[in-house]
């Protein structure tokens, strides 16, 4: 059996190695357009920033090591020009010699990945504008920044690559500005959670121009200006385009394969395309979202590696199936860990799912053990069924651990209230006896049982200040004095029972505290005394983070609300 693989990196290289482990006699040929067959593309920004110091550390396998271990014929600097599914062959060009030839196959695996989106704008051809996809791109950017001793950069786009590059260029001492049309960074997160990312970026000196539309680029006096529609442009020494990726599916389209979302390759759960004996994996393929069941593009290394393994199993006579992607991801943003899985509230709404969520701000471990750091968790669930839909966790140490627990629960099909039953490891340096994931389950169970009702940060502007409702801050006087919401009166939770006579039971009560715990206790006291009570989701710390970001934004409010 002869297997030809187009593209290495995650999916293609994984498929090649797995095929060899399953079939020692298979002939395996890998064509890779770049000069590297298997590299850590998620590590590329960190080489530019000098965190990863050795170029060789980016290379997971070299041609020599791949051949020594797996006896795989890897040909770098070889571009596959066309695929002929009927004749079971591909046409290939050696990019170093210009030679073109035909290679036959019994099975073909397409792993072309996705290419950075590059819009057709005036000035886009400038040599001061870069994109990041390959090791070669990485080396070129690093060399340019160091050689030219750059002082500033504009990053167009605020997704994963844009945010990581902002941190790494800032670490090299550059002044960095992120410009993008959406009004929030990290669009795979809900807008309220994204404000925590905004605040961290601003805290480290990254300028944000959100809600701005790039109209072109202009060079002058050795620098480049990113032109913006209806506002002043931003001048810097270089521009990095990070506005997303597009499936690199020219080969598949010209070969007549069925295409789907944004021109991606349609595959079944065995990763088979519409052409016999042709498989596809990685960022170029359309998958099913594990939670919503909708067609999706999810460009992440984890799914690509799993798909490569599944393809290898099926090529070698097995029957492996890909169950879909949840989009579990994590990113370092200066001192924060930012992680998410499944559906956000906005994605749930777009999928037609009626959802609710809880927001909590637990510590990373027991409060009495030194060094606990706060994190913010948002857990999304379906209202009627309590089906777990997704989660977002932002904080310091332990944030990734909680996200992985929630991703596992999501994959296992657990109800959101069943999170309370998880038996999770506890010792003071690592967690609390009631782990944050358990706490989320307790909160969801309380909502489902009617023990508590919620109000949210975006309800605050509409709360009456005419005396028709009671606005109550359950924190200590010292906390209240350091900052509070206008119109809220301070009644500490420990004094509440003795001061019930000051409150009118005929009026609804909206309660807030620092993290949501004391206000919940206050709501339980008031509800049992006949009050109609609502607890704030997330606590004052979360409210302050969201509203401070409103004030920090020069041209837009977060979440798309206009000034």
Residues that are catalytic: 42
Both structure tokens of 186: 């990290």
Closest-CA residue to 400 (of 489, 329, 351, 312):
329
Backbone phi, psi, residue 64, to 5° = -70, -45
Provide DSSP, 536-551. ESSHHHHHHHHHHHHH
Report the C-alpha gap between 46 and 164 in whole angstroms. Answer: 8
| Average pLDDT score over residue span 27-44 | 85
Closest-CA residue to 298 (of 40, 114, 534):
114
Does the structure show a pLDDT above 70 at 557? no
| 491 compared with 558, residue with greater pLDDT | 491
Does the structure show a pLDDT above 90 at 499? yes
Does the structure show a pLDDT above 50 at 452? yes
* 327-338 per-residue burial string, b: 16 or more CB within 10 A, e: under 16: bbbbbbbbebbb
Report the C-alpha gap between 346 and 340 in whole angstroms. Answer: 13
Q: Is 170 left (phi over 0), alpha (psi -120 to 50) or beta?
A: alpha
DSSP state of 24: T
Does the structure show a pLDDT above 90 at 556? no
Q: Classify residue 419 as exposed, middle or buried by CB count within 10 Å of its CB (0-12, 13-18, 19+).
A: buried
Average pLDDT, the chain: 93
User: What digits encode the pLDDT tens for the residues 282-309?
Assistant: 999 999 999 999 999 998 889 999 999 9
* pLDDT interval class at 559 (50, 70, 90): low
* 375-409 per-residue burial string, b: 16 or more CB within 10 A, e: under 16: bbbbbbbbeeebbbbbbbbbbeebbebbbbbbbeb
β-pair partners for 68: none
Backbone phi, psi, residue 211, to 5° = 75, 20
Asked if residues 518 and 471 have their Cβ atoms less than 8 Å apart, the reply is no
| Average pLDDT score over residue span 530-541 | 96
Supply the pLDDT for residue 561: 45
Torsion of CA 525, 528, 534, 535, to 10 degrees: 30
Torsion of CA 187, 189, 191, 196, to 10 degrees: -110
Supply the pLDDT for residue 553: 62
What pTM value is reported for the model?
A: 0.93
| 387 compared with 64, residue with greater pLDDT | 387
* pLDDT interval class at 562 (50, 70, 90): very low
């Amino acid at each position: 059996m002869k297997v030809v693989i187009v593209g290495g990196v995650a999916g293609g290289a994984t498929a090649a190695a797995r095929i060899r482990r399953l079939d020692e006699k298979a002939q395996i040929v890998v064509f890779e357009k770049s000069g590297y067959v298997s590299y850590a593309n998620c590590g590329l920004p960190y080489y530019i920033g000098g965190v990863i110091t050795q170029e060789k550390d980016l290379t997971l396998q070299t041609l020599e090591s791949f051949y020594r271990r797996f006896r795989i014929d890897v040909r770098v600097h070889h571009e596959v020009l066309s695929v002929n599914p009927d004749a079971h062959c591909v046409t290939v060009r050696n990019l170093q010699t210009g030679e073109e030839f035909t290679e036959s196959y019994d099975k073909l695996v397409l792993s072309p990945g996705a290419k950075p989106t590059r819009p057709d704008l005036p000035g886009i051809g400038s040599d001061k504008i870069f994109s990041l996809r390959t090791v070669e791109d990485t080396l070129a950017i690093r060399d340019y920044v160091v050689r030219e001793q750059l002082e500033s950069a504009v990053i167009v786009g605020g997704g994963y690559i844009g945010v990581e590059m902002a941190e790494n260029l800032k670490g090299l001492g550059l002044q960095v500005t992120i410009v993008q049309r959406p009004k929030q960074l990290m669009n795979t997160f809900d807008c309220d959670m994204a404000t925590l990312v905004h605040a961290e970026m601003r805290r480290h000196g990254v300028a944000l121009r959100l809600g701005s539309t790039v109209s072109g680029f202009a060079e002058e006096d050795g620098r480049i200006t990113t032109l913006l529609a209806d506002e002043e442009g931003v001048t810097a020494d270089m521009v990095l385009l990070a506005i997303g990726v597009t499936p690199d599916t020219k080969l598949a389209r010209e070969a007549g394969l069925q295409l789907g979302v944004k021109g991606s390759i349609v595959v079944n759960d065995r990763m088979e395309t519409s052409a016999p004996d042709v498989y596809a994996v990685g960022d170029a393929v359309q998958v099913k979202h594990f939670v919503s069941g909708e067609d999706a593009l999810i460009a992440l290394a984890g799914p690509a590696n799993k798909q490569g393994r599944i393809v290898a199993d099926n090529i070698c006579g097995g029957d492996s199936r890909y169950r879909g992607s949840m989009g579990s991801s994590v990113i370092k943003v200066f001192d924060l860990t930012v992680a998410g899985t499944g559906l956000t509230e906005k994605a749930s709404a777009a999928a037609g799912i009626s959802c609710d969520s809880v927001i909590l701000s637990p510590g990373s471990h027991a409060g009495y053990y030194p060094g606990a750091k706060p994190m913010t968790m948002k857990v999304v669930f379906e209202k009627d069924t309590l089906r777990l839909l997704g989660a977002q966790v932002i904080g310091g140490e332990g944030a990734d651990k909680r996200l992985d627990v929630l991703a596992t629960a999501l994959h296992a099909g657990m109800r959101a209230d069943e999170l309370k039953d998880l038996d999770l490891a506890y010792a003071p340096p690592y967690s609390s006896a009631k782990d944050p994931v358990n706490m989320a389950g307790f909160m969801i169970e309380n909502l489902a049982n009617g023990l508590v009702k919620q109000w949210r940060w975006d309800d605050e502007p509409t709360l009456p200040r005419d005396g028709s409702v009671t606005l109550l801050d359950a924190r200590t006087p010292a906390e209240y004095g350091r900052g509070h919401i206008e119109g809220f009166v301070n009644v500490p939770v420990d004094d509440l029972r003795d001061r019930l006579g000051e409150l009118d039971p005929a009026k609804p009560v909206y309660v807030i505290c620092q993290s949501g715990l004391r206000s919940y206790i206050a709501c339980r006291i008031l509800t049992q005394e006949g009050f109609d009570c609502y607890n704030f989701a997330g606590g004052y710390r979360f409210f302050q983070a969201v509203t401070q970001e409103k004030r920090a934004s020069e041209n837009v409010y977060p979440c798309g609300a206009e000034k």
